[in-house]
Amino acid sequence: DAKTTQPPSMDCAEGRAANLPCNHSTISGNEYVYWYRQIHSQGPQYIIHGLKNNETNEMASLIITEDRKSSTLILPHATLRDTAVYYCIVRSSGGSNYKLTFGKGTLLTVNP
């Protein structure tokens, strides 16, 4: 699986967009980009995933660069409840066990 690089921490003002970057320069053609988040003392929560097209759901948008070497998770209107560690994970679609490897992620702090 390709390695990902994320900043250790970021701050965002409440109500503003939070843009969380992820670098995955060694990603291969069949690898998806997944985003999870973990609010303190809770289990991780799936947010969104994509292959090469930009994706949007009720929680966030995922922007993947054309060369697929990086991506950005966008929380359009961050709230205090979005304070969490955000994990960017790259994983291929093959196999049957669907193991995920969580790195250290980015601690996003939303400030009032």
Nearer to another protein, 81 or 112 (CB): 81
Computed over its alpha carbons, how large is the radius of gyration of the chain?
Answer: 13
Q: How far apart are CA 6 and CA 94, in angstroms?
A: 25
- DSSP state letter for 31: E
Residues near another protein, by CB under 8 A: 32, 34, 36, 38, 41-46, 49, 89, 91, 93, 96-105
Residue-by-residue DSSP string for 52-74: SS-EE-SS-EEEE-TTSSEEEEE
- Least separation in angstroms between CB 104 and another protein: 5
- Using the structure block, give the residue that is written with the tokens 């702090």: 109
End-to-end CA distance of the chain: 37
Nearer to another protein, 75 or 91 (CB): 91
Nearer to another protein, 98 or 112 (CB): 98
- Least separation in angstroms between CB 5 and another protein: 14
- Least separation in angstroms between CB 70 and another protein: 19
- Least separation in angstroms between CB 97 and another protein: 6
